[in-house]
Amino acid sequence: MSTPTPRAPMLATAEALATLLSAASPIAGTESIPTLDALNRVLAANVTSPLDVPPMNTSSMDGYAIRTADLTVRDYSRLPVSQRIPAGHAPEPLKPGTAARIFTGATVPPGADAIVMQEQTEAADADVVILHSPEPGEWITAQGADIRSGSVILPAGTRLTPQALGLAASVGCAELVVRRRVKVAVFFTGDELTMPGEPLKPGAIYNSNRFTLRGLLEKLGCEVTDYGIVADRLDATRATLREAAGAHDLILTCGGVSVGEEDHVKPAVEAEGRLAMWQIAMKPGKPLAFGAVRRAARHGETSSAETFFIGLPGNPVSSFATFLLFVRPFILSLAGVQAVAPRALSLRADFTQSKADRRNEFLRARINPAGGLDLFPNQSSAVLTSTVWGDGLIDNPPNHAISAGETVRFIPFSELLN
Ligand code: AMP
Ligand code: MG
C-alpha cells in the first residue's frame, strides 16, 4: 500500500473560483458569421449602429397626422384629408390646415407634429373630424428614440440572445464578428460505468454524468469531443490526454479525483502536464483537479502551448454543482464573455436546517407558490433527483444553520444553465 496523500488545506469556494478565472483569458480566433446563425455566440467586437432607429419619425398608431397649431377649437376640428401614408411609403410635407391619413409604422410627414388615433376621429366625406386635442409629439416615435447613430448597441463580450440578434438586425447588421466556439474534450473514468442500452452487470451503474455534462457543455455553446469511458490504464489515459490536448481548449474529466483514490487520471495529467488537486470547502463537490496538458504549439501561438484540464468529482450532484459553479464561468471566460457570475435572488427559506456544516453548502431547493424556498429532503451528492426537482441552489455559507423565515441566497438554475 502506498502512503495516503496528505490532505490539502481546504480552499474557500470564492478563492478557488478566483484562481480559476485568473487563469482563463479569452481564446484567440474570431469569425464573421450571418446574424441569423449567431444565437448564443459571443461578440468579439463592439456593434456600433450606423443609423438612427427608427430612421425617421414614425406613427405608433393608425390615425391622422396633424399640426397641433391647426386645431383651434378644443376637441372638435374638421380638416380635409390631404394624403394617405401607409407604412413603407415616403410622405409629402403636410399641407397646412389639413390632416394626413396615416398607419402604424408609417413616416410622419414633415410639418405634422402629432398623431390622433383613429378612435378619436370621425370620417366625414373627404374630411376628418378630430375629437381630441393632442399634445405635440403624441403617438410619434421620434427618429433615434431607440438608437442613436454611432452608439455602441452591443459591447464585445456579449452573449447573443434572441433579442440581441434582433437589436443587431434593427441597425442592419447582416453579419457579426464572434469568437470561435470553445473546444472541450470530455472523458469519464470508472470501471463501474455502463452506457444506457447495455445490460447492467453486478456492481455497475449507468454513466449518467456523460449525459449531464454533455448537455451542460452543449448549452454553453461548446464544440464537444466526447471520448466516452477511457480504460483505467495509465498509457490509455495519457494517450487520450495527448490526443485531446492537440485540438481542444479544455479537457474535462469526471471521476477519480477524490483523495487517495487509485486512479490513473492524476498521474497521467502530471506526466503530460501539471496538476493541482484541490479540496474545496463546498458541499456537494469538494475535490476538483485543475491543471494543464502540454501540446505542440498551434499555428500563430506564441505563449503557453497548453490545454487546460479540469477533473470533476464523480458523484452526480457533485459533478453537476462543480460544473455550474466553476467550469461554467471558466468556459464563459475562455469564450470571451464579460459577465460570467450568475445573478442570485434573496428569498425566504420556508424550512429549517438546524445543523450547520463547516463547508459552503449548495442546497437543492425550489420556489414554492408562496414565493419561498422548499428544500429537497435528501441532499446527498449521489441523489440526482434533487437536481431535477429543484429550481436552483441555495448558497449557504460555512457554519450557518438556516431558520425558517430567514432570507437566503438562491441561485436559480435559469442563471446557471444558460
Ligand atoms: P469517484 O469521483 O470516481 O470517486 O466517484 C464517486 C462516485 O460517483 C462513485 O459512486 C461513482 O460510482 C460515481 N460516478 C463516477 N463517475 C460517474 C458517472 N460518470 N456517472 C454516474 N456516476 C458516477
Ligand atoms: Mg471512480
Give the residue from 334, 363, 383 where a domain finishes. Answer: 334
What's the CA-to-centroid distance between 234 and ligand 2, angstroms? 14
Cα(257)–Cα(261) distance, rounded to whole angstroms? Answer: 7
Query: pTM for the complete prediction?
Result: 0.90
Do 219 and 159 share a structural domain?
A: no
The single-letter DSSP state of residue 9 is P
Cell of 146: 431607440
**Which of the listed residues 230, 254, 259, 318 should we mutate to test ligand 1's pocket, taking the one with most ligand atoms within 8 A of CB?**
254
HSE of 233, CA atoms in CB hemisphere, 13 A: 4
Total domain count, the chain = 4
pLDDT tens for 376-407 read 999 999 999 999 999 999 999 999 999 999 99
Half-sphere exposure of 229 (CA within 13 A, CB side): 16
The two beta strands, 392-396 and 360-367, are antiparallel
pLDDT of residue 231: 84
Answer yes or no: do 215 and 254 share one domain: yes
What was the pLDDT predicted at 1?
Answer: 44
Buried b (16+ CB within 10 A) or exposed e, 216-249: bbeebbbebeeeebbebeeeebbebbbebbeebb
How many A from CA of 381 to the centre of ligand 2?
A: 14
Q: Are residues 283 and 172 in the same domain?
A: no
CATH number at residue 45: 3.90.105.10
Q: Categorize the per-residue pLDDT at 68 as very low, low, confident or very high, splitting at 50, 70 and 90.
A: very high
Q: How far is CA 237 from CA 213, 307, 312, in A?
A: 19, 15, 16
Distance 315 CA to ligand 1 centre (A): 5
Of 285, 359, 353, 358, which is closest to residue 322 (Cα–Cα)?
285
Does 333 score more than 70 pLDDT?
yes
Q: Which of 95-104, 164-173, 251-260 is predicted with the least confidence, judged by mean pLDDT?
A: 251-260
Residue 290 lies in a domain: yes
Shared-domain flag, residues 74 and 98: yes
Nearest CA to ligand 1 atom 5: 314
Residue with cell 505542440: 296
pLDDT band at 296 (very low <50, low <70, confident <90, very high): confident
Per-residue pLDDT band for 232 (boundaries 50, 70, 90) equals: confident
Identify the residues whose C-beta falls under 6 Å from ligand 1. Answer: 188, 190, 192-193, 205, 207-210, 254-256, 258, 261, 313-316
CA distance 300 to 305: 11
Domain that holds residue 102: 58-141
Average pLDDT of the chain is 94
The ligand minimizing its distance to the Cα of 207 is: 1
Domain co-membership, 321 together with 375: no
pLDDT of residue 67: 97
Nearest to 250 by CA among 268, 285, 223: 223
**Domain check: are 127 and 248 in the same one?**
no
CA distance 221 to 41: 7
Which residues, other chains included, contact 329 with Cβ-Cβ below 8 Å and sequence gap of 6+?
17, 20, 21, 340, 341
**Residue 21 pairs with which residues in a beta bridge?**
none
Distance CA 265, CA 310 (A): 11
CATH of the domain at 369: 2.40.340.10
Same domain, 42 and 91: no
In a domain, 227, yes or no: yes
With vertex at residue 399, the alpha carbon angle to CA 11 and CA 283, rounded to the nearest 5 degrees, is 55
Query: Is 329 a member of any domain?
Result: yes
pLDDT at 222: 98
Expressed in angstroms and rounded, the spacing between residue 192 Cα and the centre of ligand 2 is 8
What is the 313 CA–ligand 1 centroid distance (Å)? Answer: 7
Domain end (from 309, 334, 359): 334
CA 286 to chain centre: 25
Other C-beta atoms within 10 Å of 75: how many?
10
- Residue 289 near residue 326 (C-beta atoms within 8 A): no
